[in-house]
């Protein structure tokens, strides 16, 4: 689970399903007991899929799921959440908020620093830069 104002970039998640429904590669949730929430986070250049797709043996339902009401302003840019049993994204906004909302100055500064990180692969730095130009 990402915490509030997190940047989740360049991760790969696959085959996270089980016999029950609703499993996903990435899950955004709220945990009031710990004061944690994935709200105001951004997911950039991530991949989530089921290697068994399109077989009936596939068990990962979604690439990304918002597990509870109360998660707000989660943005997605340049992710590949395809090849899952049910669909790509399951969220309150169905499809995510593909950077429609304003990014805070603090988040922009973090993204700028990320775009300059030498150990981040070129393709991910490119996606982060594209995100900043929107």
Provide the whole-model pTM. Answer: 0.83
Question: CA-to-CA distance for 81 and 22, rounded, in angstroms?
Answer: 14
Cα separation, 57 vs 101, whole angstroms: 38
State how far the Cα of 31 lies from the Cα of 124, in Å rounded to an integer: 30
Give the integer Cα–Cα distance in Å for 62 and 84.
5
User: Would you state the pLDDT for residue 50?
Assistant: 96
Q: What is the average pLDDT score of the chain?
A: 86
Encode pLDDT of 41-61 as tens digits: 999 999 999 999 999 899 999
Taking only the tens place, the pLDDT of each residue in 71-124 is: 888 889 999 999 999 999 998 655 444 445 678 888 899 999 999 999 999 999
Cis peptide before 54 (omega within 30 of 0): yes
Residue 46 contacts by C-beta under 8 Å, 6 or more apart in sequence? 8, 9, 10, 11, 12, 13, 25, 26, 79, 80, 81
């Amino acid at each position: 689970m990402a915490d509030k104002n997190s940047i989740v970039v360049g991760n790969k998640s696959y085959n996270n399903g089980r016999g029950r429904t609703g499993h996903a590669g990435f899950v955004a949730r709220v945990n009031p007991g710990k004061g944690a929430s994935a709200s105001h986070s951004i997911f950039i250049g991530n991949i989530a899929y089921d290697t068994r797709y399109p077989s009936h043996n596939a068990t990962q339902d979604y690439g990304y799921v918002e597990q509870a009401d109360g998660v707000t302003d989660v943005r997605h840019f340049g992710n590949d959440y395809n090849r899952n049993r049910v669909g790509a994204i399951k969220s309150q906004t169905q499809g995510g908020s593909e950077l429609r909302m304003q990014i805070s100055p603090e988040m922009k500064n973090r993204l700028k620093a990320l775009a300059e990180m030498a150990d981040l692969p070129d393709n991910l730095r490119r996606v982060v830069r594209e995100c900043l130009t929107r």
